[in-house]
Homo-oligomer: A and B are copies of this chain.
Amino acid sequence: MMDMTKPAPAHLAPSELAYVPFVSVHNMMRLVNAMGAETFMAELAAYIEADFKRWPEFDKSPRVASHVPGGVIELMPTADAELYGFKYVNGHPKNTKTGHQTVTAFGVLSEVSNGYPVLLTEMTLLTALRTAATSALVAKYLAPKGAEVMAMIGNGAQCEFQALGFRALTGITRLRLYDIDPKATEKARRNLEGQGFQITACKSGQEAVEGAQVITTCTADKQYATILTDNMVGAGQHINAIGGDCPGKTELHRDILSRAEIFVEYPEQTRIEGEIQQLAKDHPVTELWQVMRGEAPGRIDDKQLTLFDSVGFAIEDFSALRFLRDKVAGTDYAEPLDMLADPDDPRDLFGMVTRARG
């Protein structure tokens, strides 16, 4: 580890404008533990819901993806009239082999009026939390009434967040876990034990979906896979499909898609990255923001098979950044980072440097 920098002498200390509040991983964990993950996700979901309900106000575009050897690095920007946010996120499926995270992320929120960043934060944890909060929020609109049982196929890094998010927002209390690697299931069970769930570890996907009103698929292989086949899914279920989120990576058999009512975040992106990349470009889908605004139907009867084809959209990160900024303002969860040059005279950048010689 490197030495910490020497602080600036007081008379040369940067002005207030130079500092960007920074939320480290350590402080994100402190905040989650202080609030409790369920409360954190319930509050975060309220921000996401509020932003979905004003969807047309956002400047939207598909993420900017750089496909590099071994994975992808993406920048996901969006803005409303007051704030601009973006997330940097990588996806490298083979990273776990070297002890690295498959996905790491950080993000920035800025003032539109002057372009100055107002928050820099780790987003590996925050992305896990916003993904689960979004899934649970969507299920609030789509899952059958009184759903208590969720099958979770894929018990990796996202699993526990999904379980707690669903309990906080929809009342799920029974979990049926399955992963191709029993150690992943064991890890999830251990983490969720003693938190009031009734947990069943299953030996197959088929076993996991038995009696489940909600099915969450969250596997990580970067390839076309068939985690759910058509015979495994029945009427009246809600599928929360998280793992298929880039071209060539899907989890559901095509036949399921053909008979499900499909709900998406941003069709332009989902048709490229989601489960529906397997379907015709004009296959009908419903946009979730319209459901939340009451402008399109969500679940209309108990027999429907609903599918949230989740890929993750920039507005959810924007909501998360906005939530976090409000939450950490004036607290010690944020530390000031000397990231912006702020000369006394904006035209005198050079003079600021030479005067720093002291």
- List the interface of chain A (C-beta within 8 A of B): 1-8, 12, 14, 16-19, 21-22, 24-30, 32-33, 37, 59, 61, 64, 66, 68-73, 75, 77, 79, 81, 84, 86, 88, 90-92, 95-96, 98-102, 104, 106, 108, 110, 112-117, 122, 124-125, 128, 155-161, 184, 187, 190-191, 330-343, 345-354, 356-357
Contacts and interface: CB of A to CB of B under 8 A. Distances in A.
Contacts of A352: 29
Nearest to A333: B5
A30 B191 CA distance: 47
8 contacts: A5-B27, A7-B26, A24-B337, A64-B77, A66-B79, A72-B115, A88-B108, A128-B350
Contacts of A116: 90, 100, 104
A289 to B, nearest CB: 20
Contact of A341 (B61, B98, B122): B122
Given A84-B68, A349-B124, A354-B33, A101 B335 contact: no
A59 B108 CA distance: 24
A290 to B, nearest CB: 24
B33 A2 contact: no
Contacts of A348: 157, 187, 191
A66 B84 contact: yes
Given A2-B332, A8-B26, A25-B18, A95 B77 contact: no
Nearest to A346: B96
A88 to B, nearest CB: 7
Contact of A356 (B26, B70, B341, B347): B26
B115 A346 contact: no
Given A59-B68, A157-B348, 18 more contacts: A1-B19, A4-B335, A25-B340, A29-B353, A73-B79, A73-B115, A90-B110, A90-B115, A96-B347, A99-B346, A100-B116, A100-B346, A101-B341, A101-B346, A101-B349, A160-B350, A191-B351, A191-B354
Contacts of A336: 1-2, 4
A100 B79 contact: no
A213 B159 CA distance: 66
A114 B90 contact: yes
Give the residue among A22, A336, A339, A352 with the most B Cβ atoms within 10 A.
Answer: A339
B86 A88 contact: yes
Contact of A101 (B1, B71, B340, B354): B340
Contact of A114 (B27, B30, B92, B112): B92
Contacts of A4: 332, 335-336
A349 B157 contact: yes
Contacts of A19: 1-2
B187 A351 contact: yes
A113 B69 contact: yes
Contacts of A354: 33, 191
Nearest to A187: B348
Q: Most chain-B CB neighbours within 10 Å: which of A12, A75, A128?
A: A75
A345 B160 CA distance: 14
Contacts of A122: 338-341
Contact of A68 (B8, B30, B79): B79
A70 B114 contact: yes
B29 A356 contact: yes
